[in-house]
Amino acid sequence: MKNRASKKKYEIISVLLCVCLVLFLIEGCGMGSSGGGAGGDTTKVSISLNIPAEASAASSNLYALAVPADVSSATDAAPSYLYAQAVPLDVSSIKITISADQMTTITDTFNVLPDENVLPDGIIERIYNVPSGPGRTIIAEAYDVEGVPSYSAEVTRDLDGVDTEIDLNMEAL
The DSSP string of 96-117 is EEEE-TTSPPEEEEEE--TTTT
Same domain for 114 and 142, yes or no, is yes
CB 151 within 8 A of CB 52: no
Q: How far apart are CA 163 and CA 46, in angstroms?
A: 8
Question: Does residue 37 belong to any structural domain of this protein?
Answer: no
Same domain for 66 and 103, yes or no, is yes
Same domain for 123 and 163, yes or no, is yes
Same domain for 19 and 101, yes or no, is no
Same domain for 105 and 148, yes or no, is yes
Q: How far apart are CA 145 and CA 94, in angstroms?
A: 11
Domain that holds residue 73: 42-172
Same domain for 133 and 65, yes or no, is yes
pTM of the entire structure? 0.62
Angle at 43 between CA 104 and CA 132, to 5 degrees: 55
Same domain for 103 and 160, yes or no, is yes
Domains in the chain: how many in total? 2
Sites in the chain below the pLDDT cut of 50: 28-39, 55-85
**What sign does the CA torsion over 165, 154, 89, 144 have?**
negative
Per-residue pLDDT of 119-139, as tens digits, reads: 777 788 999 999 999 999 999
* 135 Cβ neighbours under 8 A, 6+ residues apart: 100, 101, 156, 158
